[in-house]
Homo-oligomer: A and B are copies of this chain.
């Protein structure tokens, strides 16, 4: 077997490193880099803002390939909160996405939960759940509750 590439070695590091690679891949529209951060478990799951859930690597790849047809996503992360166990890391963060509009570039905000598990190949992403953005930075409050729960 060949020497592991720098990209693969990168995956052996921390959940923060895997997360950084995930968002780099989004910005660069790099489908190979993006898919490398996911676990090879059949039940990995991805919920895009306002979308249904997408399960498994082939469907997740297809969903991002469709997105990347429009280019990379100008996204920056902020307000990362971390929970850890021995072999799991749960991150909740705010994604700030620059949206070009007739009024110029505006920021939209997405709340995302990313879950990483420690696998034989290192830390890998197993779940990415993103909620629809708003024009205002999300606040850590109990405002804006809906009637659903």
The residues of A with any CB-CB pair to B shorter than 8 Å are 26, 39, 41, 43-45, 47-55, 59-60, 62-64, 66-67, 70, 73, 75, 81-83, 85-88, 90, 92, 95, 97, 99, 108, 110-111, 113, 115, 117-118, 126-127, 129-133, 138-149
| In the bound complex, CA of A9 to CA of B91 (Å) | 28
Q: A82 contacts which chain B residues (CB < 8 A)?
A: 43
Q: Which residue of B lies closest to A117 (CB)?
A: B85
Contact indicator B45/A92 (Cβ below 8 Å): yes
Contact indicator A140/B51 (Cβ below 8 Å): no
| In the bound complex, CA of A110 to CA of B85 (Å) | 27
A-B pairs, 6 with minimum CB distance:
A88-B88, A63-B142, A52-B138, A113-B129, A85-B87, A45-B92
Most buried by B among A73, A92, A139: A92
Q: A48 contacts which chain B residues (CB < 8 A)?
A: 145-146, 148-149
| 11 CB-based A-B contacts, threshold 8 Å | A43-B81, A48-B145, A48-B146, A52-B138, A53-B81, A73-B148, A75-B149, A85-B85, A88-B115, A90-B126, A132-B146
- Checking B44, B45, B90, B144 against A127 with a beta-carbon cut-off of 8 angstroms, the contacting residue is B90
Q: Given A132-B132, A140-B53, A148–B108 Cβ distance below 8 Å?
A: yes
Contact indicator A43/B83 (Cβ below 8 Å): yes
- Checking B26, B127, B149 against A73 with a beta-carbon cut-off of 8 angstroms, the contacting residue is B149
| In the bound complex, CA of A82 to CA of B75 (Å) | 29
